Amino acid sequence: MQRDTQQRRAIREVLERADRPLSPAELLAATREKVPAIGQATIYRNLKALEDLGWLEVVIIPGQPSRYELAGKGHHHHFLCRSCDSAYEVAGCPGDLDPLTPPGFRLESHELVLYGLCEDCLGD
């Protein structure tokens, strides 16, 4: 059984309120607002534990550090801001990608990442 520490509660709260995937560095900065003494090792240890418990999922974006989001959101894709490196969830999916699959191949899954500028960076 995992202990429910002040640090873990703060990490969970930050992830629940973020409404987007967070990198360990983003999570550390946001969690320090609640628990100033929290360290990077504690973040990584709790990310692993929460992933093992099925509470988190890892978001892989090529060329970027792993990010983490709440589990159970179903199939969806992500948008990466090229200016601030923030990742966001994209609702929906383009659907049937079989026409893009080479002849004689079988498509089993896909990941789609959109790249551009987020609303905040467009305003700068």
pLDDT at 1: 44
Per-residue pLDDT for 58 more than 80?
A: yes
Stretch 48-54: mean pLDDT, rounded?
A: 94
Residue 19 bridge partners (DSSP): none
Whole-angstrom distance, CA of residue 80 vs CA of residue 116:
7
CA distance 25 to 29: 6
CATH topology of domain 77-123: Dna Ligase; domain 1 (3.30.1490)
**pTM of the full predicted structure?**
0.85
E-assigned strands of 1-124?
56-59, 67-70, 77-81, 87-90, 113-116
Query: Which class is 6-70 in CATH?
Result: mainly alpha
Domain ranges of the chain: 6-70, 77-123
Residue 14 identity: V
